[in-house]
């Protein structure tokens, strides 16, 4: 039988205390990020199927709804076979997360790329949309809603409606009709006011100076066909 001396007891106690003191603390859980996927989708208009683009969560929910005080913490995945970039309208993130490649702070997402975003969200009813070529005109847009404390307290039913223009004709074809020139979608850039206008190269003028025609959404534009005819085609 081994006797536990006072010295041995103190030594064992010190070793146990040291092991407890240097035991690795459990790591804190990583903040939860919402996944958004940019991909092709099929919609039905007048009993006809149409292939368009979209940005939605993996469960099919379009866009994003955040609670009061919740950060904009999202991972965006590009499942298109081309570059894309999404602008978070109504938000004020760092330039590298703003989703506008024209500023030079960030490049578009390559096919298959996943990019993380993390910044304080601004309350309000906003939207997200592509800032790449004519992808927005192919319906690459979704709601972006950041609730306020008052809205949650009121506990009212919420219905979010996002209205978008649609035609069975491709946006490049329509833009070519409007500008009377063939348009390469890769050279089309949206205006710096984040989607309120579309800019496209105009035919060279007699002086050799290239101009840009701007079509604000608020301006009246006469289309070659009526909206009803465009949808029916």
Per residue in 57-95, pLDDT (tens digit) is 999 999 999 999 999 999 999 999 999 999 999 999 999
Show which of 125, 154, 183 is a domain's final residue: 154
Taking the C-alpha atoms of residue 52 and residue 137, their distance in angstroms, rounded to an integer, is: 9
Domain match, 76 and 143 both: yes
- Whether 86 is covered by a domain: the verdict is yes
One domain, residues 101 and 186: no
Of the two residues 145 and 18, the one the predictor is more confident about is 145
Same domain flag for 150 and 54: yes
Write down the pLDDT at residue 10.
54
Which CATH number fits the domain that encloses residue 126? 2.60.40.420
Residue-range definition of the domain harbouring residue 47: 34-154
Kindly state the percentage of the chain with pLDDT values over 70: 64
Q: What are the phi and psi torsion angles at 213 (to 5°)?
A: -95, 135
What's the pLDDT score for residue 45? 94
How many domains does the chain divide into?
Answer: 2
| 191 and 142 part of one domain | no
145 and 95 in a common domain: yes
DSSP, collapsed to helix, strand or coil, labels residue 36 as: strand
Alpha-carbon Rg for the chain, nearest whole angstrom, is 27
Count Cβ atoms below 10 Å from residue 132 Cβ, excluding itself: 27
**Per-residue pLDDT tens for 201-226?**
333 333 333 322 233 443 333 334 43
Domain identity same for 108 and 205: no
- Evaluate whether 76 touches 36 at the Cβ level (below 8 Å): yes
Q: Identify whether residues 67 and 136 lie together within a single domain.
A: yes
Q: Are residues 57 and 143 in the same domain?
A: yes
Residue 162 lies in a domain: no
Asked if residue 62 belongs to a domain, the reply is yes
Whether 58 and 98 map to the same domain: the answer is yes
């Amino acid at each position: 039988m081994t006797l536990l001396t006072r010295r041995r007891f103190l030594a064992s106690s010190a070793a146990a205390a040291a092991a407890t003191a240097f035991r690795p603390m459990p790591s804190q859980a990583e903040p939860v990020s919402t996944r958004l996927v940019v991909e092709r989708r099929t919609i039905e208009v007048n009993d006809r199927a149409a292939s368009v683009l979209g940005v939605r969560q993996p469960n099919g929910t379009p866009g994003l709804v955040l609670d009061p005080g919740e950060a904009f913490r999202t991972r965006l995945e590009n499942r298109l076979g081309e570059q894309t970039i999404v602008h978070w309208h109504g938000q004020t993130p760092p330039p590298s997360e703003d989703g506008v490649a024209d500023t030079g702070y960030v490049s578009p997402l390559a096919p298959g790329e996943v990019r993380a975003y993390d910044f304080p969200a601004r309350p309000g009813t906003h939207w997200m949309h592509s800032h790449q070529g004519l992808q927005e005109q192919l319906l690459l847009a979704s709601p972006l809603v950041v609730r306020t404390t008052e809205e949650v307290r009121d506990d009212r039913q919420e219905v979010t409606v996002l209205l978008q223009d649609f035609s069975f004709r491709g946006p490049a074809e329509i833009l070519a009709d409007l500008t009377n020139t063939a348009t390469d979608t890769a050279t089309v850039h949206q205006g710096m006011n984040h989607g309120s206008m579309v800019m496209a190269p105009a035919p060279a003028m007699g002086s050799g100076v290239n101009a840009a025609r701007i079509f604000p959404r608020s301006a009246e534009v006469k289309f070659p066909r009526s909206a009803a005819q465009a949808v029916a085609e």
